[in-house]
Amino acid sequence: MKNIIVFLLFVLFSINSCNSKADKSKAFIPDSSGNLNHISVIMPTSDWKGQLGKSVRDNLSKAYEGLPFDEPQFSLDYLNPKVFSGFARQSRNIIWFQTDSIPRFQLAKDQFSRPQIVGLVTGEDSEVQQFFFEENLALFTQTISENERKEKLRRINKSPTKDKNLKRRFGYNLVYPSVYKVVKDTSNFIWIQKQIQKGHLNIIAYEIFDSISENNFNTKILNIRDSIGKLYIPGRISGSYMITERAYQPYFYKVELDGKKGYLTKGTWEVANDFMAGPFVNYMIKDSLTKNWMVIEGFTFAPSMNKRDYMFELNTIITTIKKVN
């Protein structure tokens, strides 16, 4: 009888122990908050006003590429450690500086909320902390950028489009919000648009049946853009159309998208014979089977408005392009 009682007590203890572990693993983690591309910076006020704070501002607030006027890649929200508690810890992106005898840089995921990235930088003084921050800057910014891209896609997928024009026309899928509407659809050109408070966001797609070599792709891409603009993207007055603004040197990169090699161009567009302009991001990817180039581009018209977050949205949408098997 004693053996039975001891066995039952052991079973009950085991069940309670398992439940306790399960409860800890399922502990409530609140949803993270904050605007996209914002980072909370936690350090003492003296460090924020000193060289460490300057390094953080200079490195995390670098200009977002391809905009006509400088806007920071990330917006920084400074907090003193004394007020870094409660709701303040639910920020989606955090860089936290602490004084510690052990110098290190550490990334944590979903520490106080979900989704969340926390970069912890420790060192015996601000000089050591600055060294470890700058040494790991690329890793931190890449992690934050990917975290923001996923968050943007999560929001887009709350109400994705059901339109299949791109799939029917070119054999590609693209994930974008249902608020975007088709404004032009021809045999080799699709234009979708989203109205905003003071302007619109645009995505265009078309195919190129031409050879493009690494020796001439910079010039060729811009010439193709101009010819497509003249054919399909008119301005507000007769005889006006979209072209590439040549006064601002575009950025050119080799990329891989949907497992296909291609080119990425960021720059500024304008309208010939009219006063309209804005930023664009252009991807060209080569289909290995047909040897044709698929071009998908996003551009923004939003006069007197900041454009970083608009271009971030367009770039995020474009990176979802996928060939339909």
pLDDT tens per residue, range 136-183: 999 999 999 999 999 999 999 999 999 999 999 999 999 999 999 999
Do 62 and 201 reside in the same domain of the chain? no
CB hemisphere CA count around 169 (13 angstroms):
20
How confident is the model at residue 11, as a pLDDT?
35
Per-residue pLDDT band for 244 (boundaries 50, 70, 90) equals: very high
Do 127 and 205 reside in the same domain of the chain? no
In a domain, 11, yes or no: no
Do 258 and 149 reside in the same domain of the chain? no
CATH code at 117? Answer: 3.30.379
How confident is the model at residue 27, as a pLDDT?
65
pLDDT of 1 > 80? The answer is no
Per-residue pLDDT band for 6 (boundaries 50, 70, 90) equals: very low
Distance of CA 226 to the CA centre of its chain: 27
Domain that holds residue 291: 165-323
How confident is the model at residue 257, as a pLDDT?
92
Q: Which of 156, 191, 221 is the last residue of a domain?
A: 156
Do 116 and 184 reside in the same domain of the chain? no
- Mean pLDDT check: name the lowest of 23-32, 97-106, 202-211: 23-32
Ramachandran quadrant class, 291 (left: phi over 0; alpha: psi -120 to 50; beta: rest): left
How confident is the model at residue 248, as a pLDDT?
81
- Mean pLDDT check: name the lowest of 46-60, 107-121, 235-249: 235-249
| Local structure of 210: helix, strand or coil | coil
In a domain, 1, yes or no: no
How confident is the model at residue 121, as a pLDDT?
98
Q: Which of 156, 175, 198 is the last residue of a domain?
A: 156
pLDDT tens per residue, range 40-99: 999 999 999 999 999 999 999 999 999 989 999 999 999 999 999 999 999 999 999 999
Do 257 and 236 reside in the same domain of the chain? yes
Q: Which of 95, 130, 156 is the last residue of a domain?
A: 156
Per-residue pLDDT band for 128 (boundaries 50, 70, 90) equals: very high
Mean local confidence (pLDDT), 235-256: 91
Tell which residue, 106, 58, 6, 70, has the closest CA to residue 308: 70
* DSSP3 helix / strand / coil % (the chain, rounded to 5): 35, 35, 35
pLDDT tens per residue, range 267-325: 999 999 888 999 999 999 998 888 889 999 999 999 989 999 999 999 999 999 999 87
Do 144 and 228 reside in the same domain of the chain? no
CATH code at 287? Answer: 3.40.1000.10
The predicted model scores a pTM of 0.87
Domain count, the chain: 2
CA distance 80 to 42: 6
Do 50 and 98 reside in the same domain of the chain? yes
Segments of 104-215 assigned E as strands: 104-109, 117-123, 172-173, 181-186, 189-196, 199-208
Do 170 and 317 reside in the same domain of the chain? yes
Do 151 and 231 reside in the same domain of the chain? no
How confident is the model at residue 12, as a pLDDT?
35
Q: 115: cis peptide before it, omega within 30°?
A: yes
CA-based torsion, 124, 130, 135, 138: positive or negative: positive
How confident is the model at residue 16, as a pLDDT?
45
Is residue 186 within 8 Å of residue 273, measured between CB atoms? no
